[in-house]
Structure 1
């Protein structure tokens, strides 16, 4: 049976941003699927035209939504998530809902200490208005360039912005920001699970939204588990690494790691 791989996007990107990855993974013998978030439209354009459907969905809503997709698969999948999708992948792996997970520039989980200033600036479009907790928020091209496209040319950043960006719910960011003060935070991951499948954390050295220091701090949260937990860094990449012109390097690295895990 072909192993399913479920791709999970993060804030401000649409599920179709994984199209190139899905083509590559299908060619490598996997069965790829891309999980949208609750309220996402079928296309980028549909999502942009109905931001109210996207607003006010939190982390638990997305976890439940993706878990429902997993329930419809023939077997437990490999999860590959970017940004908040990386956090979702870790939560589901900790719940033993997946064979393995790859978390790329994953949003901070509960236990990770204060966020660097660049991450605060990248998320300022949401945090500048407390009402955004219950709304969907869109980025401008300049905001996208700082948060995602700072390691590519301005022209490529603008092209990615026009092609892939959609409004994003503000609620997950507020939940992550208060995670260390909430004993029942939805950003909590079962990092102590000894029997879960292998996990690969990928960091980007020039990421403004999820700086490498956040990913390294995430790795430390897994210190009490003997399950496989690896870290790889792309020193010259930013948060756009899964969609920009260098995406194949990241995808091939993920495939090589999966082969190493015999998956």
Structure 2
């Protein structure tokens, strides 16, 4: 009798559609896991359908997204491995801190409460949303040029533009406004239980050329976990930007995640 396969929940970040995880899904399925990649609340099944109805994404904040994935996890037969990118990485951290996953990989995870460095590059990447207070209640899309700065700065322009065309969707501005004031808000939805000693192991992955989540944020995030005895590791791809989960080098990142999970007994 074969044992049930461990579920893996992939959580996308702002401005990317869940189907961007397709190559990862295939790789993890071949490796013996049971992977799924549900979208955020309001995401449609395809990139095109999501772009056609941005209002469905508007007004959703971090709490909505976390509770959305919490309900998905509750429907699974066993607790999953959590793998998230950008704000999806932050959601994975929050879920792991609540003991809703057996392990997590947070790739270029967005700032959590307590992380103080906000490099200029990160502010510039968020500026298309934060420049207009009305975007708090809107879903905002990136132009190809904005995507190239925030995601594809370590890529040839042609590859960045192709990724933008293939995977980019509008994102709820509320998430960035919540991140902008997280350290001023005592009830910030970006607060993570970093001191939990009983949670599963966590791997933080950072891109050394990332503009949206510069390495200073990932390094400061690691320090937030210093009071927990649970495993927290940090790995860097020094030549990679925020597109590292979807560009031509995605397999290197996925292979690292698989290797680390096996080392943790998962």
TM-score range normalised by the length of the shorter chain? over 0.9
Counterpart check, 1:96 vs 2:99: yes
The residue aligned with 1:237 is 240
Counterpart check, 1:196 vs 2:199: yes
Counterpart check, 1:157 vs 2:191: no
In structure 2, the gaps of 5 or more residues are none
Aligned 8 A contact 2:142 2:170 in 1: yes
Shift of 1:72: 1.0
Q: How do 1:114-129 residues align onto structure 2 when only pairs under 5 Å count? A: 114-129=117-132
Determine the C-alpha separation between the residues in 2 that align with 1:72 and 1:22: 19
Counterpart check, 1:6 vs 2:16: no
Q: 2:89 aligns with which of 81, 86, 89?
A: 86
SS at match of 2:37: strand
The residue aligned with 2:214 is 211
Shift of 1:35: 1.9
The residue aligned with 2:58 is 55
Please tell me the root mean square deviation across aligned C-alpha atoms, in Å.
0.4
In structure 1, the gaps of 5 or more residues are none
Determine the C-alpha separation between the residues in 1 that align with 2:53 and 2:106: 28
Runs of 4+ in 1 over 3 A off after TM superposition: none
Counterpart check, 1:30 vs 2:41: no
TM-score by length of 2: 0.98
Q: Deviations over 1:55-114 (max 9, x none)?
A: 110000000000111011111000000000000000000000000000000000000003
- Alignment: residue pair count: 263
Q: 1:111 aligns with which of 111, 114, 118?
A: 114
TM-score by length of 1: 0.99
Determine the C-alpha separation between the residues in 2 that align with 1:124 and 1:24: 35
Determine the C-alpha separation between the residues in 2 that align with 1:212 and 1:114: 10
SS at match of 1:80: strand
Determine the C-alpha separation between the residues in 1 that align with 2:221 and 2:177: 18
